Structure formats: structure tokens, C-alpha cells
């Protein structure tokens, strides 16, 4: 998980090119281009209760606590993603002045596997939208 200025698809469709809020995001995929650049795909984390429980995965309390997230319930949203070339200008430090502090930590394997499988299922059903932030 990392801290990132996530651009929601609805914001992108309104013409915005910057996210309105820095938030935790789950890294779902890292690929490499032919030029050797790493391209990262992230899923946003929100406190908003999902309107469809199949479109989000809740982060357990113990995991939130271990990662240093606040005490409110949080969900990884599976219906949209941002993709950017690493490191990208929209990473945000957890500690002011410490550019290397963008990472909260790892999600447990079982939770990541659940997120991955549900995301792939939605992707196959064409219910997922990726916003490309950098080329």
C-alpha cells in the first residue's frame, strides 16, 4: 500500500488531471515497458461504504492498525484504478519532508489474493475503468 493522489474516474471525465485527495492505494499490478520503465496500477482505498459489496474489499482492523491507517473502516475499491509510470509525480510522503516514506506496508497475502481475484473478475466483466496518469 502506498500514499497517492488518486484521480477518480468521475474527476477525470470532468477534465481534472489532479486528484483532489491523497489516499492509501493498493498496488495491484506492476509491469515493465519495453523501455524498462515500471508501470504501476493502484486501487483506491475509501472510508465510504460500498453501494455494491462485490465492488470492494474491506481492510481488516488489525491490518489497518499495522499499516498506520486511521481507525475508520476502509475498503479497497475494485471498479476503477490509476496507472502510472513509477515513481510518478503523484506519490505522497507519509512523513513531511521524507520523500521515501510513500509506502504504508504490505497487505496480507490472503487479502491481496482476494482483491486480485475480485478485480480480475470485474475486469473481465468490463466493470473496471483505468485512468492513465502518466505515459
Look at the chain and report how many structural domains it folds into: 1
Place of cell 474491506: 58
132-57-116 Cα angle (round to 5): 55
Say if residue 135's pLDDT is above 60. no
Q: How far is CA 99 from the centre of its chain?
A: 18
The residue segments making up the domain with residue 58 are 2-132
Q: What is the pLDDT of residues 48-67, one digit of tens each?
A: 999 999 999 999 999 999 99
CB 1 within 8 A of CB 108: no
Three-class DSSP category at 38: strand
Strands 74-77 and 21-32: unpaired
- The pLDDT tens digits of the residues spanning 89-100 come to 999 999 998 988
Percent of the chain with pLDDT over 70: 98
Q: What is the per-residue pLDDT across 113-126, written as a single tens digit (0 to 9) for each?
A: 999 999 999 988 87
Amino acid at each position: 500500500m502506498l500514499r497517492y493522489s488518486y484521480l477518480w474516474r468521475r474527476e477525470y471525465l470532468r477534465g481534472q488531471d489532479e486528484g483532489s485527495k491523497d489516499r492509501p492505494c493498493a498496488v495491484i499490478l506492476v509491469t515493465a515497458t519495453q523501455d524498462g520503465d515500471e508501470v504501476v496500477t493502484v486501487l483506491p482505498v475509501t472510508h465510504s461504504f460500498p453501494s455494491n459489496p462485490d465492488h470492494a474489499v474491506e481492510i481488516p482492523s488489525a491490518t489497518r492498525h499495522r499499516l498506520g491507517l486511521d481507525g475508520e473502516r476502509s475498503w479497497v475499491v475494485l471498479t476503477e484504478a490509476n496507472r502510472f509510470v513509477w515513481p510518478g509525480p503523484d506519490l505522497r510522503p507519509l512523513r513531511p519532508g521524507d520523500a521515501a516514506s510513500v509506502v504504508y506496508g504490505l497487505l496480507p497475502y490472503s487479502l491481496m489474493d482476494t482483491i486480485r481475484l475480485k478485480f480480475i473478475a470485474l475486469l473481465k466483466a468490463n466493470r473496471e475503468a483505468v485512468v492513465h496518469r502518466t505515459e
